[in-house]
Structure 1
Amino acid sequence: MNQTQLPYVLLYLCSTFLSSVSQVLLKKAAMREHTSLVAEYTDWRVILGYGLFVGCTLLTMLAYKGVPLNIGPVLEATGYLYVTIFGVTIFHEKMNPKKIAALVMIVAGILVYAL
């Protein structure tokens, strides 16, 4: 990776992080009771979550102006790390050995590709 690609890589990582945040918003909205189907889809969390997804798609498209296509999936894999961290800290999900092994393999894959 060269210096001209760095801003695009950071933009891609930001997009992946915001996409993970939108998943948290949608899960929070799904955990709430709603009085009707309309109320379920007009919840501010749902609107903001889907709005972030659209924004992240646009950011990712912009990032691909400077990120090679073969690096994109590696950067996208960081989303698994963000979602896991959010799951453990926000939703108090439990980590088991299989989940930890999967995260270690994801991080190892990112490191192997980066080095």
Structure 2
Amino acid sequence: MYKYFIMMLLAELIASSSQIFLKMSSKKSYPSAIREYLNCLVIGGYSLLMVSMVITVVFGYNKDKLGYMGTVVMEPISYVFVLILSRIVFKEKISKRKIVGMSLIICGIAVFFLNKPM
């Protein structure tokens, strides 16, 4: 059971990293439209997203092990990961509003786990 949980966390961390790569690419200017979409950051970002999706399908959609936890509950944790990674990579300010949103996401996950023991 915990193996599936850890794999879903890993999948969400990988998906969040792919979003960071795509954001890094969007902040650069490119000489042509082709280079804008065919560069290392974009290809790497979408490749990571594909890896994340494969992990999610293999481990998250296994109803015998995680049930709804793998898909419904673990997906929102990526918002928390993106917030933290944006702070680390882009030095983005974490506002009070973002903290409230992140807290609500974490509280929602905690409430779900109160009803569904691992």
User: TM-score by structure 2 length?
Assistant: 0.87
Gapped regions of structure 2 (runs ≥ 5): none
Partner residue, 1:99: 98
Kindly indicate whether residue 20 of structure 2 is the aligned counterpart of residue 24 of structure 1. Answer: yes
Kindly indicate whether residue 43 of structure 2 is the aligned counterpart of residue 47 of structure 1. Answer: yes
For 1:60 and 1:87, the matched residues in 2 are separated by 23
Aligned residues: 110
Partner residue, 2:76: 77
Partner residue, 2:113: 114
Structure 1 residue 60: Cα displacement: 0.4
Q: What is the aligned counterpart of 1:59 among 25, 33, 55?
A: 55
Gapped regions of structure 1 (runs ≥ 5): none
For 2:6 and 2:55, the matched residues in 1 are separated by 11
Structure 1 residue 33: Cα displacement: 1.0
Task: Find runs of 4+ consecutive structure 1 residues off by over 2 angstroms.
Answer: none
Q: Percent identity?
A: 29
For 1:58 and 1:89, the matched residues in 2 are separated by 26
For 2:95 and 2:9, the matched residues in 1 are separated by 26
Letter in 2 for 1:38: I
For 1:28 and 1:97, the matched residues in 2 are separated by 24
Deviations 1:17-68 (A, max 9, x none): 0000000000001111101011111110100101111111111000122321
For 2:6 and 2:96, the matched residues in 1 are separated by 31
CA RMSD in angstroms comes to: 1.2
For 1:16 and 1:53, the matched residues in 2 are separated by 9
For 2:40 and 2:52, the matched residues in 1 are separated by 18
Letter in 2 for 1:92: K
User: TM-score by structure 1 length?
Assistant: 0.89
